[in-house]
Structure 1
Amino acid sequence: MHIATWNVNSLNVRLDHVLAWLEKNPVDALALQETKLTDAKFPVEAIREAGYETVFTGQKTYNGVALLTKTPAEDVVYALPGFEDEHKRVIAATVDGVRVIGVYCPNGQDLDSPKYEYKLAWFDALAGWLTDELKTHDKLVLTGDFNIAPRDEDTYDPEKWQGRILCSPPERAALQKLLDAGLTDCWRLFDEPEGRHRFTWWDYRNGGWARNAGLRIDHVLATGALADNCRECKAHVGERGRKRPSDHVPVAADFVI
């Protein structure tokens, strides 16, 4: 089973990128983040013509998540249960017996921002809900843009990023809490890649892509039943070099079910 995640930073702008990537890389489930579309404008028919069903929840200009699946999604959840939030950040469904959760986690903006406190509270709520999900789904993948680089090795300049937003100890602890609940970071099951392949995001500003000033903040986390049978997890970095790219690239994992 092939499961991927991609923060497309506007599906309206990058629909052709997504469809072209899917043609070359057919997957069973693709979690999208930052679709930035209201539900009425989601391109259901164009994606269906490419062979995928869709479930989604969105809003104008910001946020928005979706799951594109080869087979119809079941038992769909469109928000983080028990956490009152107007932002569209979570979607979950069962696909061919695997529970797939796609998340667009808050950025936090800065350590002294109220958005940082919101981020930590959001992650705490996610961890609570995940505990419940794991009780009923032994095959589960939590994937998306987490806006957290787990380790110094996941940044292009550990000294520069030490203690900053996306890399602060409380944020990393919040991500570790998800792993401690029973998930494995599939990326780390394999030899650490070099060069551009180390990262999943490069800032548009200051020549981030040209300088390879990237971070690994997009993740595929899986339960043991899946992680034990994961055959590959990698970033498709070529997408960042395209014309009008997203600042993120797809991350895809292959599992033997």
Structure 2
Amino acid sequence: MKIATWNVNSLKVREQHVIDWLGTSQTDVLCLQELKLTDDKFPRAALEEKGYRSWFAGQKTYNGVGILVRDGLNVDPSTVVRNIPGFEDPQQRVIAATVDGVRIISAYFPNGQAPGTDKFAYKLRWLAALHDWIAREMALYPKLALLGDYNIAPEDRDVHDPKAWEGQN
């Protein structure tokens, strides 16, 4: 199974890029992050025309995640989960589905901003909840792939402009 991930930074803007890439990449499963559109705006029909079924959790302007699966692969709809179970969060940052026995999780990790801020505290709570949920998922699904935009940059080489990010996590 060929699995890929892509932070599209607006599926509305990059819809044709995604469709074109799927046509040439031979990807079986594509995890998307930062959809920046509501569920009713998700281009499900256009993707189905290209041979992909989709599951998604959209949000206007920010966040949003999705999983695209090539026709012919088995997805049990009862295995689809939106957000981290038990973690109250209005932000749409996680979606999971089981594809041919492999647990696929698409995640858009929060940007924590500077230590000591509310955003940083939210990121730490979110990471702890994700960690605990992933541990439970791994017990149920020995084959698990966590894909996404991690928004974690411990070294200068992890960002385009290290000076701009100095003092932030």
TM-score, normalised by the number of residues in structure 1:
0.60
Q: Where in structure 2 are the equivalents of 1:240-255 lying within 5 Å?
A: none
Q: Matches of 1:20 and 1:44 in 2, distance apart?
A: 15
Q: Matches of 1:161 and 1:137 in 2, distance apart?
A: 40
SS class of match (1:23):
helix
Question: Per-residue deviation at 1:86?
Answer: 0.3
Counterpart AA for 1:6? W
1:165 and 2:164 matched: no
Question: Per-residue deviation at 1:104?
Answer: 0.5
| Percent of aligned positions that are identical | 54
Q: Matches of 2:168 and 2:100 in 1, distance apart?
A: 37
Question: Is the Cα contact below 8 Å between 1:36 and 1:61 reproduced in 2?
Answer: yes
SS class of match (1:115):
helix
SS class of match (1:165):
coil
SS class of match (1:19):
helix
1:26 and 2:30 matched: no
Match of 1:101 among 96, 105, 114: 105
Where does residue 36 of structure 2 map in the other structure? Answer: 36
* RMSD (Å) for aligned C-alpha atoms: 1.8
Q: Where in structure 2 are the equivalents of 1:175-194 lying within 5 Å?
A: none
Question: Per-residue deviation at 1:150?
Answer: 4.7
Counterpart AA for 1:142? L
1:65 and 2:68 matched: no
Q: Matches of 2:93 and 2:125 in 1, distance apart?
A: 14
Where does residue 115 of structure 1 map in the other structure? Answer: 119
CA pair 156-44 structure 1, distance change in 2 beyond 3 A: closer
Aligned residue pairs: how many?
Answer: 165
The one-character-per-residue Cα deviations of 1:69-120 (angstroms, maximum 9, x if unpaired) are: 0135321001101110000000000011110000001111222320010001
Question: Per-residue deviation at 1:136?
Answer: 1.2
Q: Matches of 2:93 and 2:37 in 1, distance apart?
A: 13
SS class of match (2:120):
helix
Counterpart AA for 2:33? Q
Question: Is the Cα contact below 8 Å between 1:36 and 1:63 reproduced in 2?
Answer: yes
SS class of match (2:37):
coil
Point out where structure 1 has 5 or more consecutive residues left out of the alignment: 167-257
Point out where structure 2 has 5 or more consecutive residues left out of the alignment: none
Question: Is the Cα contact below 8 Å between 1:155 and 1:161 reproduced in 2?
Answer: no
SS class of match (1:5):
strand
Question: Is the Cα contact below 8 Å between 1:37 and 1:61 reproduced in 2?
Answer: yes
CA pair 162-9 structure 1, distance change in 2 beyond 3 A: closer
Counterpart AA for 1:95? V
